[in-house]
C-alpha cells in the first residue's frame, strides 16, 4: 500500500503502540508525516517482549512522523485523561483514535481465574470505551474523525464462545462499541469501524502463545498496517459502522499480491486462520478425511503403544504435564499421557490424576498431529482441536511431537 500523504499533520492516538500491530500502524501513518501519540504501558523494557513507548517513538520519528510517548494503562481513568490532555496540548487536537490495546487468555470457564477475566474486560471492553469517551470531544472538532478498533466482526457461532467465552465476551465488547458509537456519532461525521485479520499475525505476543512455529503460518503486521491506512485515508462519511477484514480492505484498494505479507512465502497457502471468522470447509477435503478415517482402525492404540516405549524420566522432567485425549470419530475413546509423574505412563482411559490439559479432536486429526502433518497450534486455531485446562502445557505437545516424530 503506497503512502499518499493524506495523513500528514493528522494526530493519531494509538493504544498499545509500543509493539506489534499498534506500532506497525503507527509507522505506516508516520511515513505520511502524521503525529503519533504512543499510548502504552511499557516504559521500561519487558523481559520477554521487545519495545517500549520510547523506542517506538524513536522509530516513528526516524520515518518522518512526530511522536509523543505517553505511559498509559487504559484501565486507569486518570492516566487516559492526562494522556489525551497532553496530546491535545502538544499537537492541537486529535483526529484519529486506534483502540489496539488488548489482553488475551484462551481458557475455558473453569480454567479462567477472575483476575484474568477482569483484566481482559478492563482492557478490551472498558479500556476501549474509556479511551473513546475521552477522545470524542476532540474528534468531534476534527474534519477527519476516525475511530478504528482492532476487534472482530460480531459472530454468534457457538464455536467462538465455547472454548474461551471470557475472552470472546471481552473482545466482542470492543466490537459492540463500534456498533453503538458508529450509529451514535454518524450525524457528527465521526467514522467508527473495526478491523480484524484474516490470518494469524506474527507478533511477539502470538509467538509466546503459539510458539516459534507460528512464524511460518502467519502474516506480517504490515498487512494490518496497510489495511488500517486504507481505511483511515477515506473520508469519514465513506465508511462507518463496518466490520472490516484486512485482505478484503486491501483487495478493494487494488492490492492483489498478498504473498508479500506472508512471513514465509513458502507457506502462503498454509496460513493459520485467525479467530472469529468462519471458514467454509472444502468438501473434497472432507471426503478425503472421511476416506482416511475408514482406514485408520487400530492406529491410535498402536500409536500409544509406540509412545509408551519412548517414555523416559528425562522426557517427564522436560514436559511436566498430564494430558487427557478425548478422541471422536472412527476410533472414539479416552486416552491419557502422563509426563509428570515417575517415569511417565500412557494408555486407554482417564489419567489417575487430574489432567493439566484435556484435548478433544477427531481420530483423523489426532493421528495427523502426532505424525507431524498437523501442528497443535494450527489445529487449535482452526477449531480441529479443543483444549480445556492449561493451554500453555497443551502447546508443549508441539515440542514433544517434534522430538518423537522420527521415532513414531
- List pLDDT tens digits, range 82-120: 999 999 999 999 999 999 999 999 889 999 999 999 999
**2 within domain boundaries:** no
32 inside domain: yes
Confidence of residue 208 (pLDDT cuts 50, 70, 90): low
What backbone torsions phi and psi does residue 195 show, to the nearest 5 degrees? -130, 135
Q: Are residues 151 and 85 in the same domain?
A: yes
Which are the contacts of 187, defined by CB distance < 8 A and separation ≥ 6? none
Is the same domain home to 251 and 308? no
Residues 332 and 257 in one domain: no
The answer to whether position 274 is within a domain reads no
Half-sphere exposure of 379 (CA within 13 A, CB side): 26
Q: Which domain holds residue 296?
A: 283-404
Starting at the earlier edge strand, list the strands of the sheet with 357-362.
Answer: 345-348, 333-339, 321-328, 357-362, 386-389
Question: Could you tell me if 45 and 177 lie in one domain?
Answer: yes
Q: Has residue 4 been placed in a domain?
A: no
Q: In the listed set 215, 238, 267, which residue is the last one of a domain according to the structure?
A: 267
Taking only the tens place, the pLDDT of each residue in 33-44 is 999 999 999 888
Q: Which of 117, 167, 229, 261 is catalytic?
A: 167
Does 123 share its domain with 17? yes
Q: Are 67 and 13 in contact (CB under 8 A)?
A: no
Residues 347-353: contacts with CB under 8 Å, at least 24 apart: 347/304, 347/308, 348/301, 348/304, 350/324, 351/322, 351/323, 351/324, 353/322
177 with 317, same domain: the answer is no
Q: What pLDDT band is residue 180 in, cutting at 50, 70 and 90?
A: very high
Contacts of residue 235, Cβ cutoff 8 Å, sequence gap at least 6 = 144
Residue 302 and residue 211 share a domain: no
Confidence of residue 217 (pLDDT cuts 50, 70, 90): confident
Task: Name the pTM for this structure.
Answer: 0.74
Query: What span, in angstroms and rounded, lies between the C-alpha atoms of 222 and 170?
Result: 25
In a domain, 46, yes or no: yes
Average pLDDT of every residue of the chain: 88
> Do 44 and 192 sit in the same domain of this protein?
yes
| C-alpha cell belonging to residue 330 | 472412527
Q: Look at the chain and report how many structural domains it folds into.
A: 2
The verdict on whether 167 is a catalytic residue reads: yes
The CATH number given to whatever domain includes residue 320 is 3.30.1050.10
Residue 184 is part of a domain; what is its CATH number? Answer: 3.40.50.720
Instruction: Report the alpha-carbon distance of residue 226 to residue 223 in Å, rounded.
Output: 5
Indicate if 157 and 182 belong to the same structural domain: yes
Q: H or E segment at 44? A: none
User: CA torsion, points 22, 221, 394, 298, in degrees to nearest 10?
Assistant: 160
Gyration radius (Cα) of the chain, Å: 23
Domain match, 171 and 303 both: no
115 and 203: one domain?
yes
Same domain, 256 and 294: no
Domain end call among 267, 294, 327 = 267
* Residue 9: all three cell numbers together: 499533520
Instruction: Please tell me the distance from the alpha carbon of residue 183 to that of residue 160, in angstroms, as a whole number.
Output: 26
Whether residue 360 is contained in a domain is answered as yes
Contacts of 299 (CB under 8 A, 6+ apart): 331, 363, 367
Amino acid at each position: 500500500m503506497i503512502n499518499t500523504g493524506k495523513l500528514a499533520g493528522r494526530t493519531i492516538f494509538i493504544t498499545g503502540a509500543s509493539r506489534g500491530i499498534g506500532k506497525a500502524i503507527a509507522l505506516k501513518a508516520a511515513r505520511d508525516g502524521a503525529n503519533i501519540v504512543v499510548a502504552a504501558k511499557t516504559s521500561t523494557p519487558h523481559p520477554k517482549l521487545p519495545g517500549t513507548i520510547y523506542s517506538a517513538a524513536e522509530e516513528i520519528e526516524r520515518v518522518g512522523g512526530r511522536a509523543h510517548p505517553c505511559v498509559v494503562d487504559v484501565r486507569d481513568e486518570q492516566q487516559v485523561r492526562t494522556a489525551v490532555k497532553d496530546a491535545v496540548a502538544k499537537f492541537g487536537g486529535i483526529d484519529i483514535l486506534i483502540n489496539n490495546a488488548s489482553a488475551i487468555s484462551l481458557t475455558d470457564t473453569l480454567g479462567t481465574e477472575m483476575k484474568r477475566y477482569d483484566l481482559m474486560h478492563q482492557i478490551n471492553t472498558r479500556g476501549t470505551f474509556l479511551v473513546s469517551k475521552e477522545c470524542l470531544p476532540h474528534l468531534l472538532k476534527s474534519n477527519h474523525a476516525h475511530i478504528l478498533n482492532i476487534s472482530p466482526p460480531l459472530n454468534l457461532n457457538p464455536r467462538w464462545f465455547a472454548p474461551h467465552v471470557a475472552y470472546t465476551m471481552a473482545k466482542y465488547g470492543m466490537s459492540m462499541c463500534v456498533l453503538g458509537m458508529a450509529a451514535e456519532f454518524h450525524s457528527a461525521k465521526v467514522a467508527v469501524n473495526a478491523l480484524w485479520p484474516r490470518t494469524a499475525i506474527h507478533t511477539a505476543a502470538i509467538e509466546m502463545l503459539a510458539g516459534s512455529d507460528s512464524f511460518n503460518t502467519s502474516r506480517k503486521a504490515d498487512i494490518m498496517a496497510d489495511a488500517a491506512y486504507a481505511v483511515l485515508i477515506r473520508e469519514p462519511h465513506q465508511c462507518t459502522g463496518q466490520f472490516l477484514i484486512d485482505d478484503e480492505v486491501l483487495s478493494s484498494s487494488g492490492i492483489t499480491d498478498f504473498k508479500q505479507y506472508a512471513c514465509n512465502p513458502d507457506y502462503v497457502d498454509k496460513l493459520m486462520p485467525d479467530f472469529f471468522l468462519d471458514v467454509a470447509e472444502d468438501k473434497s477435503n472432507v471426503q478425503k478425511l472421511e476416506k482416511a478415517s475408514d482406514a485408520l482402525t487400530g492406529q491410535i492404540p498402536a500409536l500409544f503403544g509406540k509412545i509408551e516405549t519412548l517414555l523416559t524420566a528425562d522426557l517427564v522432567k522436560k514436559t511436566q504435564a498430564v494430558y487427557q485425549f478425548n478422541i471422536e470419530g472412527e476410533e472414539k475413546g479416552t486416552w491419557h499421557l502422563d509426563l509428570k509423574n515417575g517415569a511417565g505412563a500412557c494408555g486407554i482411559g482417564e489419567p489417575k490424576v487430574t489432567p493439566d490439559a484435556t484435548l478433544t479432536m477427531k481420530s483423523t486429526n489426532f493421528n495427523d498431529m502426532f505424525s507431524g502433518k498437523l501442528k497443535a497450534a494450527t489445529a487449535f486455531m482452526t477449531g480441529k482441536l479443543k483444549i480445556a485446562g492449561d493451554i500453555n502445557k497443551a502447546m508443549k505437545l508441539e515440542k514433544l511431537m517434534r522430538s518423537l516424530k522420527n521415532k513414531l
